Homo-oligomer: A and B are copies of this chain.
Amino acid sequence: MLVDGKEMRSLWYEDDSLKLIDQRSLPAKLEIFEAKDENEVAYAIKEMVVRGAPAIGCAAAYGIAMAKDKQKAAEILANTRPTARDLFHAIEYMLDKIEYGEDALKAAEKYVEEIVGKCRKIGEHGKRLISPNARILTHCNAGALACVDYGTALAPIRMARDKNPFVWVDETRPRLQGLLTSWELEQEGIEHAVIADNAAGYFMEKGEVDLVIVGADRITSNYDVANKIGTYEKAVVAKENDIPFYVAAPLSTLDKSIKSGKDIEIEERGEEEVTKIFSWKPKKVRNPAFDVTPAKYITGIITEEGIINPAE
């Protein structure tokens, strides 16, 4: 991705430590967080220095690579956040490679390159869905920040830049990850407007949205999709307005061990994420971080190997 006109990734290994663009400071400030061992990587995942399922997986891979006790590191890292499939996939990948005698650091690097390569392919497959001057709605940040490079939902948009796309960016309360998307799009010079999440339906109903593309944290074997809270609402309203709704994700997001969305554990995060901007402290606040969009609302899942139609 471009940052101040230069190619950059959201995390990389350098001088015996994992460097991460600190996503808590963005888009206000570009700061680099340094993690020297598995505990610091676990902290970075838990505190959302790094966020986005593929990037979390990559960070965890380096966390295991840097650890002395790989099994213990796997346990520590697995206990950071429950919803993203990639985290567990990365941990399994690393333990497997290490068991077969591979150098752990090289295995982590390979894992990251695979993720980046998959995102690029998602972009190539997805860009054909984007017509000239298409107006695309996205929710949360499924961009290069979330995926080391390219992004998932943003990869097709990046690659279709010559078609002059316009992006509606849901601000994505409570954590406002839409601003990360706005920051990425501005870095790339792609036209967009940020809206309150409540306004997405308004623009869909008015015919100002041609398609929706979002990322995914976990996809079940029947193609239900767990993603950022609010995704479900957008999918229902898109279907009601006959707007194609696409999910962009590497196949590693697919968890065949889970039958349907009903079996996905949804993380509820702290109240302060919601109340931070309030001048009033309600007695009770609920803050589910993800929701599940049933497969019937999904037009297609854009993967590195092509587009899957859940209805088929």
Contact = CB atoms under 8 A, between A and B. Distances in A.
A195 interface: yes
Interface string A195-214: 11111111101000000000
Given A192-B284, A230-B201, A277 B279 contact: no
Contact of A232 (B201, B284, B287): B201
A291 interface: yes
Interface residues of A, number: 50
Nearest to A29: B279
B233 A179 contact: no
Nearest to A261: B205
Nearest to A195: B286
B291 A182 contact: no
Given A186-B282, A274-B194, A287 B199 contact: yes
A192 B27 CA distance: 33
Interface string A274-295: 1101111011111110011000
A151 to B, nearest CB: 18
Interface in A226-280: 228-230, 232-233, 236-237, 240, 266, 274-275, 277-280
A3 interface: no
Contacts of A192: 282-284
Contact of A230 (B183, B191, B199): B199
B27 A280 contact: yes
Given A186-B282, A202-B288, A205-B291, A173 B193 contact: no
Nearest to A183: B280
Contacts of A67: none
Contacts of A275: 194
Interface of A: 27-28, 169, 171-174, 176, 179, 182-183, 186, 191-203, 205, 228-230, 232-233, 236-237, 240, 266, 274-275, 277-280, 282-288, 291-292
30 contacts: A28-B279, A169-B282, A171-B173, A173-B173, A173-B197, A173-B198, A174-B196, A174-B198, A179-B279, A186-B283, A191-B284, A193-B284, A193-B286, A195-B274, A196-B230, A197-B197, A197-B198, A198-B230, A198-B233, A198-B291, A199-B230, A199-B287, A201-B230, A201-B232, A202-B266, A202-B288, A205-B292, A236-B236, A237-B237, A240-B240
